[in-house]
């Protein structure tokens, strides 16, 4: 039996991509929390694995040629796991190209734009005093996120999954739709996307991956106001601990 993959993780849309993939692929893994609000992503041991000081990251003790390998960047991790298992990453070059296109669409579009939407709609008021800047950012990124939902909704017309069969592209996108309310989205406006979102959420492996570390998120929400303020400084680049 293969040795467990070490998953460096915090329960966020990017973290969920990998926990869901590991559950769907049936790979053994051990979760190692990286408290991004406490600045643990800046610790030297973690930076040796993920030099961009972002989670998720993995260490596979049974990497290529049986030697350990570390991988950072969620998209690269998904591709690696897909190649390792031969699952959810197509069976031909044509299929892999299609999956890669939608994986990159999420990495370069849906994730960053939805992330900025969350920032301006939920967090900016505690950091920026100029309300005009906040309003512009909120409108700009909410509109772009809305447009991207439309792109995905059109893609899912007549398809159960983004690339026809369940793939790492679905794992990448699903977590970023979870907080649709906080993005100012009305999900009913996107019926094909909504059906896909619910179809994905009903899968046992997706549910397990999504729930991984849920208690860590709850603990973070319960921290006192001063601690939350310090966490925001870390998360939004005002300082590293």
Query: Do 101 and 166 fall within a single domain?
Result: yes
In a domain, 13, yes or no: yes
Query: Do 65 and 113 fall within a single domain?
Result: no
Distance, in Å, from the CA atom of 184 to the CA atom of 154, rounded to the nearest integer, reads: 19
Q: Which of 110, 115, 87 has the alpha carbon at shortest distance from 173?
A: 110
Sign, Cα dihedral of 56, 204, 159, 93: positive
CATH code at position 33:
3.40.30.10
Distance, in Å, from the CA atom of 38 to the CA atom of 22, rounded to the nearest integer, reads: 26
Query: Do 149 and 196 fall within a single domain?
Result: yes
Distance, in Å, from the CA atom of 15 to the CA atom of 74, rounded to the nearest integer, reads: 8
In a domain, 74, yes or no: yes
Query: Do 132 and 183 fall within a single domain?
Result: yes
Query: Do 109 and 157 fall within a single domain?
Result: yes
Query: Do 169 and 99 fall within a single domain?
Result: yes
Distance, in Å, from the CA atom of 142 to the CA atom of 102, rounded to the nearest integer, reads: 21
What pLDDT is stored for residue 238 in this prediction? 44
In a domain, 240, yes or no: no
What pLDDT is stored for residue 115 in this prediction? 95
Q: Which of 56, 171, 169, 43 has the alpha carbon at shortest distance from 105?
A: 169
Distance, in Å, from the CA atom of 195 to the CA atom of 226, rounded to the nearest integer, reads: 40
> To which H or E segment does residue 8 belong?
strand 5-9
Query: Do 122 and 40 fall within a single domain?
Result: no
In a domain, 241, yes or no: no
> To which H or E segment does residue 88 belong?
none
Say if strands 5-9 and 29-33 run parallel, antiparallel, or are unpaired: parallel
Q: What are the per-10-residue average pLDDT scores of the chain (241 residues)?
A: 92 98 98 94 96 97 95 98 98 98 98 94 80 89 97 98 98 98 97 98 98 84 54 55 45
In a domain, 15, yes or no: yes
Domain count, the chain: 2
Q: How far apart are the first and last CA of the chain?
A: 39
CATH code at position 192:
1.20.1050.10
In a domain, 196, yes or no: yes
Containing structural domain, residue 108: 93-202
Query: Do 165 and 66 fall within a single domain?
Result: no
Collapsed DSSP state (helix, strand, coil) of residue 203: coil
What pLDDT is stored for residue 241 in this prediction? 45
What pLDDT is stored for residue 240 in this prediction? 47
């Amino acid at each position: 039996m293969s040795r467990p993959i070490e998953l460096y993780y915090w329960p966020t849309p990017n973290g969920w991509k990998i926990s869901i993939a590991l559950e769907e692929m049936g790979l053994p893994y051990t979760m190692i929390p990286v408290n991004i609000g406490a600045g643990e992503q800046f610790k030297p041991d973690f930076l040796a694995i993920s030099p961009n000081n972002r989670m998720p990251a993995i260490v596979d003790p049974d990497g290529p040629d049986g030697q350990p390998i570390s991988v950072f960047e969620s998209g690269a991790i998904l591709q690696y796991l897909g190649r390792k298992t031969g699952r959810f990453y197509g069976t031909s070059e044509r299929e892999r190209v299609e999956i890669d296109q939608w994986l990159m669409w999420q990495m370069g579009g849906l994730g960053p734009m939805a992330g900025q939407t969350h920032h301006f709609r939920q967090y900016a008021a505690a950091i920026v005093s100029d309300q005009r800047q906040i309003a512009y950012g909120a409108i700009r990124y909410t509109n772009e996120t809305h447009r991207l939902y439309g792109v995905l909704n059109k893609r899912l017309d007549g398809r159960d999954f983004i690339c026809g069969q369940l793939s790492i592209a679905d794992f990448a996108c699903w977590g970023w739709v979870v907080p649709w309310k906080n993005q100012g989205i009305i999900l009913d406006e996107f019926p094909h996307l909504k059906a896909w979102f619910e179809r994905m959420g009903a899968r046992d492996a997706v549910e397990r991956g999504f729930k991984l570390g849920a208690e860590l998120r709850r603990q973070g929400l319960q921290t006192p106001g001063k601690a939350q303020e310090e966490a925001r400084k870390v998360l939004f680049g005002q300082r590293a601990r």
